[in-house]
Amino acid sequence: MGMIKVAFIFIFCGAVFAQSQTDMEADLGKHPEHLSTRIQLANVYLTQKNFDHVIALLNPYTDQLPSQGFLALANAYSNKKKFDDEVRVLNLLIAKEPEDFHWHMLLGEAYLKEISQLSEGEFEKKKTLGVSAIQQFRQALKISPKFKPGFDILLATLLQQKANNEARELLDEGLRTFGRRPELYRELCRLDALDGYLDSAVTNCREGIKLAPNYPDNFVFLTQALMDQKEDQSAESAIVSAAKRFGTNEFVQWAAGTFFFKKKNYPVALRYFQAAVKADAHSARAHFGLAQSMFETGQEKESLPHFVFACKVDPSTVDIFLSEGGKLKQKGNSTLGDKFVQAAYACKG
């Protein structure tokens, strides 16, 4: 899910700017205490993208700004990518108007923008800011429980931070608040299957399929959950049915190929991986599955370009790639085995 943008709200529309910019600047020169003129002029500067002027006008008056002044100032800092200052300003606004959920949403987003500026190594700071963002989104939902955009951004943040248990609790809360929405069951299906909550995964995936029968991912995660429960026949029935239904979906075709590859039914796996590559020629996992299936069915030479493609996109495949080259050498096919090993090392860099 994409980031939900909460628009900055500005009260001053065109009618308010009856004075010209020159008149406002002159008026403010004579009467710097005229706060309404100061804010009107700041909004003019915002439309001109003159963010430094906005900051110069409003930052010294944060002790007395109304909400529209704080929003203009926060917007200016945001556009300059000074997100720590945006956070500071929004915290001041919340201190004055703590019961407006919009401000908590904006502050939560500002924390996320701060995180986006940090380097990969700044784990602790990212964690701290992430907690702060989640707290603000939770507060927004506490004030306005049925504000769906607030729910969505909190869920997206929890998922991004891999806080799966918290996300699962939020989804259960969402079902109580918003009803049996297919997108909620879809996420529960995926989380439960990946995290090994197999009984609830099967239940939630089937409910998701019932509500949204044209969404393919639920079928894949249902298959995974059934496989993990050792219900192989049910899993096979689910994935074959899905593969027929979603013939041009790479994820479903790849999942079907993976299922049959694990069962060592390599010819059938090959057919599904071919369909996955046809559905998405740029899918490394589809090419890798196809390469392995071809190798296992005696098409070693034909598998090589697929191994190369997969390895270039996903270097983690290199160990199996090298291993297959070793197998070829052991079988006496040193020429092709050397090609495999050389290509694998070239991929490994």
The pLDDT value given to residue 69: 95
For range 114-129, the mean pLDDT: 93
The pLDDT value given to residue 24: 85
The pLDDT value given to residue 12: 43
The pLDDT value given to residue 345: 92
pLDDT > 70 in the chain, percent: 95
For residues 236 and 308, membership in a common domain is answered with no
pLDDT tens-digit map of 173-203: 999 999 999 999 999 999 999 999 999 999 9
CATH number at residue 281: 1.25.40.10
Domain that holds residue 151: 1-178
Instruction: Give the DSSP letter string of 102-150.
Output: HHHHHHHHHHHHHHHHS-TT-HHHHHHHHHHHHHHHHHHHHHSTT-HHH
The pLDDT value given to residue 9: 44
pLDDT tens-digit map of 10-46: 444 444 445 788 888 888 888 888 898 899 999 999 9
For residues 156 and 191, membership in a common domain is answered with no
The pLDDT value given to residue 64: 94
Domain end call among 197, 217, 246: 246
Domain end call among 118, 146, 178: 178
pTM of the model: 0.83
Helix, strand, coil tally for the chain in percent (to 5) = 75, 0, 25
Closest residue by Cα to residue 255 from 296, 209, 217, 281:
217
For residues 54 and 106, membership in a common domain is answered with yes
For residues 261 and 189, membership in a common domain is answered with no
Lowest-pLDDT choice from 70-74, 119-123, 130-134: 119-123
Please, are residues 9 and 70 in contact by the beta-carbon 8 Å criterion? Answer: no
Q: Which residues of 175-187 are buried (b: 16+ CB within 10 A; e: fewer)?
A: bebeeebbbbbbb
For residues 333 and 300, membership in a common domain is answered with yes
**SS3 for 340?**
helix
Closest residue by Cα to residue 163 from 193, 191, 185, 189:
191
Please, are residues 158 and 134 in contact by the beta-carbon 8 Å criterion? Answer: yes
For residues 59 and 75, membership in a common domain is answered with yes
For range 101-116, the mean pLDDT: 97
For range 229-244, the mean pLDDT: 97
Domain end call among 227, 246, 265: 246
User: Any idea which residue has 């079988």 for tokens?
Assistant: 331
Please, are residues 3 and 112 in contact by the beta-carbon 8 Å criterion? Answer: yes
pLDDT tens-digit map of 274-331: 999 999 999 999 999 999 999 999 999 999 999 999 999 999 999 999 999 999 999 9
Query: How many Å separate Cα 185 from the centre of its chain?
Result: 17
CATH number at residue 232: 1.25.40
For residues 212 and 270, membership in a common domain is answered with no
Q: What rounded mean pLDDT belongs to the chain?
A: 93
The pLDDT value given to residue 313: 94
For residues 237 and 324, membership in a common domain is answered with no
The pLDDT value given to residue 116: 94
Long-range contacts of 282-285 (CB under 8 A, 24+ apart): 282/313, 283/250, 283/254, 284/309, 284/310, 284/312, 284/313, 284/314, 284/317, 285/254, 285/310, 285/314
Count up the domains in the chain and report the number: 3
The pLDDT value given to residue 11: 41
pLDDT > 90 in the chain, percent: 88
For residues 215 and 162, membership in a common domain is answered with no
